Amino acid sequence: MTHRPLEEPLRPVRPHPVDASWDRTPEPGDVDPAVLSALLHRHGWQRRGGAAGRYGRWTPPGPGGNGTSLLVPESRAFPDSEDLLGEALVALSRSGTPSAREVLVGLTVPSDEVRWWRDAPSGPTAAAPWTVEEELRTAARQMLLAAALATRARAGYHGARHRRSAAAMLENVLVGAAAGGRGLTAFVPVGTGRPLAERLHQALYAAREAIDYRRATGGMDAFDGAVEAGVSREFTEALVALVRGTEGARIAVEWAPAAGVPEDCAAGGEPVEFSPGDLPVLREAGARYLRGEPSVPVRITGAVVRMRRSGPGGEGTVRLRVIAGAEVPHVRLTLDEEAYRIAGHAHLVGLPVRVHGRLESRGGFRKLTGASGVVPVQVDDAERDRLMKSLQEDLDFFEEVCGGEDAGD
Judge contact between 227 and 155, C-beta under 8 A.
Answer: yes
- Tell me whether residue 243 is in a domain: yes
* 314-338 average pLDDT score: 93
Indicate the average pLDDT of the chain. Answer: 84
Judge contact between 154 and 228, C-beta under 8 A.
Answer: yes
The per-residue pLDDT for range 131-184, each reduced to its tens digit, is 878 889 999 999 999 999 999 999 999 999 999 999 999 999 998 766 556 789
Whether 318 and 367 share a structural domain: yes
Please identify, among 271, 292, 313, the residue that sits at the C-terminal boundary of a domain: 292
Domain with 48 in it: what CATH number?
Answer: 3.30.920
φ and ψ of 189, to 5 deg: -55, 130
Whether 205 and 330 share a structural domain: no
Please identify, among 59, 74, 108, the residue that sits at the C-terminal boundary of a domain: 108
Whether 141 and 232 share a structural domain: yes
Domain that holds residue 125: 111-292
Name the nearest CA neighbour of 254 among 102, 148, 88.
102
Name the nearest CA neighbour of 157 among 60, 231, 87, 86.
231
- Tell me whether residue 15 is in a domain: no
Whether 277 and 212 share a structural domain: yes
Domain with 306 in it: what CATH number?
Answer: 2.40.50
The pLDDT value given to residue 129: 67
Would you give the distance in Å from CA 389 to the centre of its chain?
33
DSSP 8-state assignment for residue 192: H
Whether 104 and 217 share a structural domain: no
The per-residue pLDDT for range 219-235, each reduced to its tens digit, is 999 999 999 999 999 99
The per-residue pLDDT for range 40-88, each reduced to its tens digit, is 999 889 988 777 778 888 998 876 555 678 889 988 888 888 899 999 9
The pLDDT value given to residue 342: 94
Please identify, among 76, 108, 140, the residue that sits at the C-terminal boundary of a domain: 108
Total tally of structural domains belonging to the chain: 3
Whether 121 and 263 share a structural domain: yes
Q: State the Cα–Cα distance between residues 31 and 17, nearest whole angstrom.
A: 19
